[in-house]
Amino acid sequence: MSIEPAIPAVALPESLVVRPDIMQRLDFAALFGNGHPVELELGAGDGSFLLRHAAAHPGVNFIGVERLLGRLRKIDRKGRRLGLANLRAIRLEAAYLLEWMIPAASLSAIHVYFPDPWPKRRHWKRRLVNLRFTEIAARALVPGGRLYVRTDDASYFQQMTEVGNAQAGFNAVAEPPDLLAVTTDFEADFNRDGIPTLHAAWERNLAEPTTVKREELMSGAPCWDGRDGRDGPHGPHGPEAPDVRAA
């Protein structure tokens, strides 16, 4: 899918990759210079979804989170070439950023596409999407905001749907066809091999989110440990990073 370069309404920053204070909540108005709605992609990979979606929605601001510097540089290079003034990228652990740096009730959408499935049962505690994650995501979304997930792993999809449907702060909804049409390069590759995309979405309601404390999570069950333990959803599964920001 080709993307037509945009003519930005404001000057592009020197780099779309930003280095925020990791001890502070993000200030979206300062980051983008406007009050437009903000969407977040956790694990942006090579940016194939993020770039296309941002180009198609110039009135929405987008933040992509990714750990690998090479991928961030690719997003920066392509985003600047396309004139995407509504795009920023951050090199940080996805779980840390969502819990500690996103203001409450500030996001219009969260996208989580093909996170590491950690298929071995003893590794399920490392999975990003669990009940604790849904609580934090619900608190980050505005009422009516949506959480979108995709995976090609049936076991992980079952877990995603179970915890999403169990979250009192969410109502299950259908995904817009135009959003489903925007695929990642990784997704397009395995779709061509006959592997289907498993996808789901939930909308933030007005209920208080279901709360799960770390100590209440059963040993061996999916838990939240503040790290998503992956290099990104669109490439090889690497080791967990020792800190929240790579050097």
- Give the pLDDT confidence of 68-108 residue by residue, as tens digits: 999 999 999 999 999 999 999 999 999 999 999 999 999 99
Residues 6+ apart with CB under 8 A from 244: 22, 92, 93, 96
Rounded to an integer, what distance in angstroms lies between the CA atom of residue 155 and that of residue 48? 25
Q: Is it the case that residue 226 has pLDDT exceeding 80?
A: no
What is the dihedral angle through the alpha carbons of 26, 13, 29, 8, rounded to the nearest 10 degrees?
-140
The b-or-e profile of 147-160 (16+ CB within 10 A means b, else e) is bbbbbbbeebbebb
Counting Cβ atoms within 10 Å, is residue 144 exposed (0-12), middle (13-18) or buried (19+)?
Answer: exposed
Q: Is it the case that residue 245 has pLDDT exceeding 90?
A: no
For residue 111, the tally of other CB atoms under 10 A from its CB is 23
Q: Which residues belong to the active site?
A: 116
pLDDT the model gives residue 86: 97
Q: Please tell me whether residue 85 adopts helix, strand or coil conformation.
A: coil
User: What is the band of 244 on the pLDDT scale with cuts at 50, 70, 90?
Assistant: very low
For residue 11, the tally of other CB atoms under 10 A from its CB is 8
Q: Is it the case that residue 238 has pLDDT exceeding 70?
A: no
Residue among 71, 68, 76, 63 nearest 102 (CA):
63
Whether the CB-CB separation of 160 and 151 falls below 8 Å is answered with: yes
Whether the CB-CB separation of 108 and 201 falls below 8 Å is answered with: no
Question: Model confidence over 204-219: pLDDT tens digits?
Answer: 999 999 987 655 544 3
pTM of this structure? 0.84
Q: Is it the case that residue 231 has pLDDT exceeding 50?
A: no
